[in-house]
């Protein structure tokens, strides 16, 4: 079964769940229809990485073909939707996946309808509530997936830990943005908890727990998943500065305007001279940074060797992940699928 088919099945499970929820929400008020329409639009995109890692860990640990497992894994996309919505509010992001971010959608609706009050405040409030709804629905979708109670009980501990870690990572990310001098180590701490564990390691652990896998399998999945998660986020950080907007869904250099203290930025500042460091600190986080400013910062990142150092880190973490996968006590089919996912997560180049 290909990873492409998994995406199709995840999409179908998400549509079915939201459609089941729709009548109850609209029964409260038809004025909630824009909430559902916005969620439908957000859920239509995405790589479906978290459900895929969960699915293949389940199969790698000997789990059989179970549609209930696909539903449980697909619930991770609602958790991701919650995280993305809230992240965009905190970062004041205008776009997500090439479309207006959720809070901007509601802000525009407020203006178009000529409502009194502050449109921006309404947009942020509506987005926070939709993010909260997605978080609640993620748990409901998981619990109502149809898997046996003992399986759900094993998975619930992982699910709860995953939600705690991503929120802790998000706070650490915000805190990192307030530092004048971040380091590679502090940036990597954010990567580990906001992205690496949340995107890959914990979804793998969830699939393994649902399958009743032994500790040997869980440990092997960590050895594969954690370094891959770091490599995946480092690749996203590079694309956030140098990527094609058609691929990233955000304007070129948006991470620079948002002032994200990524590993890429920390590597650059470690290598920058006084003038280069001063320019980075002056313009990093400037929401009005124009194309010329983005180009200037990109030049510093390249000339200092920050970009090359980040690419080297991606290669090292990916190699570590690949070596762990080779010896993992998983089914051959699962190792093949997880190898494909490793390439998809790290092989994108600028």
222 plus 287 within the same structural domain: yes
Same domain, 135 and 168: no
Residue 223 and residue 268 in one domain: yes
Q: Higher pLDDT residue, 323 or 176?
A: 323
Report the alpha-carbon distance of residue 81 to residue 74 in Å, rounded.
Answer: 11
349 has a pLDDT exceeding 50:
no
pLDDT in tens, 61-86: 999 889 999 999 999 999 999 999 99
95: part of which helix (H) or strand (E)? strand 95-96
Same domain, 207 and 278: yes
The tally of domains found in the chain comes to: 2
Please state the rounded mean pLDDT for residues 180-198: 91
User: Residue 62 falls within a domain, yes or no?
Assistant: no
Report yes or no on 61 lying in a domain. Answer: no
Question: What is the domain-level CATH number for residue 310?
Answer: 1.10.600.10
Higher per-residue confidence, 109 vs 243: 109
Q: What is the pLDDT of residue 135?
A: 98
Residue 347 domain boundaries: 151-350
Within a domain: residue 325? yes
Q: Are residues 84 and 167 in the same domain?
A: no
Q: Is the pLDDT of residue 192 over 50?
A: yes
Domain shared by 223 and 292, yes or no: yes
When the pLDDT of each residue in the chain is averaged and rounded to a whole number, the result is: 93
Judge whether 13 lies within some domain. yes
In the listed set 146, 176, 209, which residue is the last one of a domain according to the structure?
Answer: 146
pLDDT tops 50 at residue 1: no
Q: Is residue 82 part of a domain?
A: yes
CA distance 329 to 336: 13
**End position of a domain, from candidates 119, 146, 173:** 146
Q: What is the pLDDT of residues 14-51, one digit of tens each?
A: 999 999 999 999 999 999 999 999 999 999 988 899 99
The verdict on residue 296 lying in a domain is yes
Name residues whose C-beta falls within 8 Å of residue 171's C-beta, 6 or more positions apart in sequence. none
Residue 253's pLDDT is: 86
Whether 241 and 138 share a structural domain: no
Which residues, including other chains, have CB under 8 Å from residue 157's CB and lie 6 or more apart?
Answer: 209
pTM, entire model:
0.94
Boundary residue ending a domain (91, 123, 146): 146
Q: What percent of the chain has pLDDT over 70?
A: 98
Taking only the tens place, the pLDDT of each residue in 267-292 is: 999 999 999 999 999 999 998 999 99
With contact defined as beta carbons under 8 Å apart, do 93 and 146 qualify? no
* pLDDT at residue 111, rounded to an integer: 96
């Amino acid at each position: 079964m290909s990873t492409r088919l998994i995406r199709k099945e995840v999409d179908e499970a998400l549509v079915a769940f939201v459609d089941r929820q729709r009548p109850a929400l609209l029964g409260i008020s038809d004025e909630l229809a824009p909430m559902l329409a916005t969620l439908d639009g957000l859920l239509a995109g995405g790589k479906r990485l978290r459900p895929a890692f969960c699915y293949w860990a389940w199969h790698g640990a000997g789990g059989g073909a179970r549609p209930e497992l696909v539903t449980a894994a697909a619930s991770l996309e609602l958790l991701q939707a919650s995280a993305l919505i809230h992240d965009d509010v905190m970062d004041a992001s205008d776009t997500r996946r090439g479309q207006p971010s959720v809070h901007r959608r509601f802000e525009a609706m407020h203006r178009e309808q000529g409502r009194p009050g502050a449109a921006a405040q309404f947009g942020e409030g509506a987005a926070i509530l939709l993010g909260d709804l997605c978080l609640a629905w993620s748990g409901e979708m998981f619990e109502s997936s149809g898997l046996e109670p003992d399986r759900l009980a094993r998975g619930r501990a992982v699910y709860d830990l995953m939600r705690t870690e991503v929120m802790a990572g998000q706070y650490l990310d915000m805190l990192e943005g307030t530092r004048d001098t971040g380091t590679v180590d502090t940036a990597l701490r954010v990567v580990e908890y906001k992205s690496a564990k949340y995107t890959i390691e914990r979804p793998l652990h969830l699939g393994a727990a649902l399958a009743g896998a032994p500790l040997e399998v869980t440990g092997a999945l960590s050895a594969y998943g954690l370094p891959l998660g770091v490599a995946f986020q480092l690749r996203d950080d590079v694309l956030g500065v140098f990527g094609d907007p058609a691929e990233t869904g955000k304007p070129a250099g948006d991470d620079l305007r948002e002032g994200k203290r990524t590993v890429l930025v920390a590597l650059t500042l470690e290598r920058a001279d006084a003038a280069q460091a001063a320019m980075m600190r002056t313009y990093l986080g400037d929401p009005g940074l124009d194309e010329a400013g983005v180009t200037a910062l990109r030049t510093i990142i390249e000339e200092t060797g920050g970009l090359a150092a980040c690419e080297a880190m991606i290669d090292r973490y990916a190699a570590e992940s690949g070596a762990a996968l080779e010896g993992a006590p998983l089914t051959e089919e699962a190792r093949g699928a997880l190898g494909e996912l490793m390439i998809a997560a790290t092989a994108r180049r600028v």
